[in-house]
Amino acid sequence: MSIERLDKFLSSQTSISRNEIKTSIYKNQVTINGEIIKDTSRKVNPETDIIMLNGQQILYKKNLYIMLNKPKNTVSATKDNKDKTVIDIIPKNLYRKNLFPVGRLDKDTEGLLIITDDGEFSHRITSPKKEIYKVYEATINRKLTNSDIENFSNGIIFLDGTKCLPAKLEIISDYKALVTICEGKFHQVKKMFSVINAQVCELKRIKIGNLSLDENLQVGQSRELTPQEIKSIFD
């Protein structure tokens, strides 16, 4: 990373506004290599300088990758005038500017959602051409059969003529199954079941590529992904 202004760096790496950063500097709450800083335009090298804000070291991260166990009644968007978004529930210690959800989960769907500020990374996951498979756990309102498995593997065709790529349906019990797809059409899983006269009662995404939802992450909680977990998505 190149040398840049202190206030710009702190703003890019935290949830704090430029004005709030100026206030912190005026209150002697910012240090560089142990030196109290008074100048908001002070130049820093985030890769070599030790930058402290309110006693906490601010480490440079080019991009941020967060695993969220998405709850129901939140929308996969950065802003919404009506509903709470997945960005709204990211804790302050993880939040920074320009975060967005990778793909989307329906408002009433729970489970694994990645939040990032890396557009190229997001494209690699969401593009069907990249064949990054997503696994959903679905609870259905009727008994599932082997013919349902065959219909999914042949590629479900929606009423408007849209054909889905072949998908894997793995029956867990009479009313529960795992669905594996590499697309992200609007309401896709629900529509696929609707075509075979089944209604989805509960839907939860549990896997993206080889990244599984952390079982210790409660609904609504989030944490930063490790480098190994990020790599596992594409392995």
* Average confidence (pLDDT) over 145-171: 96
Which pLDDT score, from 0 to 100, does residue 1 have?
Answer: 59
The rounded percent of the chain whose pLDDT value lies above 70 is 100
Which pLDDT score, from 0 to 100, does residue 40 have?
Answer: 83
* Average confidence (pLDDT) over 143-161: 96
- Do residues 103 and 48 both lie within one domain? no
- Do residues 160 and 50 both lie within one domain? no
For the domain that residue 120 is a member of, what is the CATH number?
A: 3.30.70.580
- Do residues 161 and 106 both lie within one domain? no
For the domain that residue 175 is a member of, what is the CATH number?
A: 3.30.70.1560
Whether 139 and 202 have beta carbons less than 8 Å apart is answered as yes
Range of the domain at 107: 65-128+214-232
The mean-pLDDT minimum among 4-13, 159-168, 192-201 falls in 4-13
Residue 4 has pLDDT above 80, yes or no: yes
- Do residues 113 and 71 both lie within one domain? yes
Q: In terms of pLDDT, which residue wins out, 168 or 21?
A: 168
Q: Please state whether the predicted TM-score (pTM) of the whole model is above 0.75.
A: yes
- Do residues 138 and 204 both lie within one domain? yes
Instruction: State the pLDDT confidence band at 41, using cuts at 50, 70 and 90.
Output: confident
- Do residues 51 and 78 both lie within one domain? no
Residue 140 has pLDDT above 80, yes or no: yes
- Do residues 175 and 153 both lie within one domain? yes
Choosing from 57, 73, 95, the residue where a domain stops is 57
SS (H, E, C) the chain: CCCEEHHHHHHHHCCCCHHHHHHHHHCCCEEECCEECCCCCCEECCCCCCEEECCEECCCCCCCEEEEEECCCCECCCCCCCCCECCCCCCCCCCCCCCEECCCCCCCCEEEEEEECCHHHHHHHHCHHHCCCEEEEEEECCCCCHHHHHHHHHCCECCCCCECCCCEEEEEECCEEEEEECCCCCCHHHHHHHHCCCCEEEEEEEEECCEECCCCCCCCCEEECCHHHHHHCCC
Residue 43 has pLDDT above 70, yes or no: yes
Please list the residues that pair with 136 across neighbouring strands. Answer: 179, 205
Number of domains observed in the structure of the chain: 3
Spell out the long-range contacts of 151-159 with Cβ–Cβ below 8 A and sequence spacing 24 or more: 151/195, 151/196, 152/179, 152/192, 156/191, 156/192, 156/195, 156/196, 157/195, 158/191, 158/195, 159/195
For the domain that residue 27 is a member of, what is the CATH number?
A: 3.10.290.10
Which pLDDT score, from 0 to 100, does residue 144 have?
Answer: 97
- Do residues 23 and 44 both lie within one domain? yes
Q: Is 7 a catalytic residue?
A: no
Which pLDDT score, from 0 to 100, does residue 117 have?
Answer: 96
pLDDT tens for residues 214-235? 999 999 999 999 999 999 999 8
- Do residues 202 and 222 both lie within one domain? no
- Do residues 45 and 91 both lie within one domain? no
Whether 70 and 87 have beta carbons less than 8 Å apart is answered as no
State the catalytic residue, choosing from 7, 106, 117, 148: 106
- Do residues 123 and 222 both lie within one domain? yes
- Do residues 142 and 171 both lie within one domain? yes
Pairing of strands 4-5, 56-57: unpaired
Q: In terms of pLDDT, which residue wins out, 1 or 44?
A: 44
